[in-house]
Every structure is written in C-alpha cells, then in structure tokens.
Amino acid sequence: MPNRSFPAALAATALLLGALPAGAEGRYCAAHDDVVQRLTTEFGETLQSIGLAGRDAMVEVFDAPETGSWTIIVTTPTGRSCLIASGQAFENLAEHLPDGSRGA
C-alpha cells in the first residue's frame, strides 16, 4: 500500500525549513554542486521535485528508483545546500485530486 503520509510530511518539512536559520548549522552542508554530485555518484539519486520554502530557500527531493534511497536538501541563495532528511523505500505517487479540488 502506498505511503500517503509522505506528501504531508514533505509539506511539514517545507514549512519548518522556512524557520531554519540560513546556515542550518548542525547538518551536513556543502556547495550545492558538490552535494548534487555526491548524491548522484555515491547514491545514484537524481532530482525528482523542487519547490520554494519561504522567500529564500529551495527544497529539492532526490531519489534512486533502483535502490529506493532518497534525500531532501535545502539550498540558500548563497548556494549552500544542507541535508534535511534521507532514507529508504522512497515511492513516487501519482495521486490525482478529486475533480474541483485544489491542493492546500
């Protein structure tokens, strides 16, 4: 059965990111290009979705369909990216809202 709580968890994470200090101290952080290269070469992950958190943070979700590994990073306007969450058993869902409904 698909994990339907993931979109809600992702939305909650995005809301929390808006409250994080720009440095996101205490997390793995590096230049955006370096983080993306590591996710690609070491974990086989590719970018699956992207969004804005607040006015000054970009959230990206990466996953590797072959292994199910996933990572969420947040990037500041300075190009510094920080790991927010990672794990296993990632599943892309193609849920459709009922007609006439809109996402929150």
Domain spans, the chain: 28-87
The tens-digit pLDDT sequence of the chain (104 residues) is 444 444 444 444 444 444 444 444 456 899 999 999 999 999 999 999 999 998 889 999 999 988 999 999 999 999 999 999 999 988 777 777 677 665 55
> 40 is written with which tokens?
């690609």
80-87 and 58-63 beta bridge pairing: unpaired
The alpha carbon of 61 is separated from its chain's Cα centroid by a whole number of angstroms, namely 3
Identify the CA nearest to 59 among candidates 41, 38, 39, 83. Answer: 83
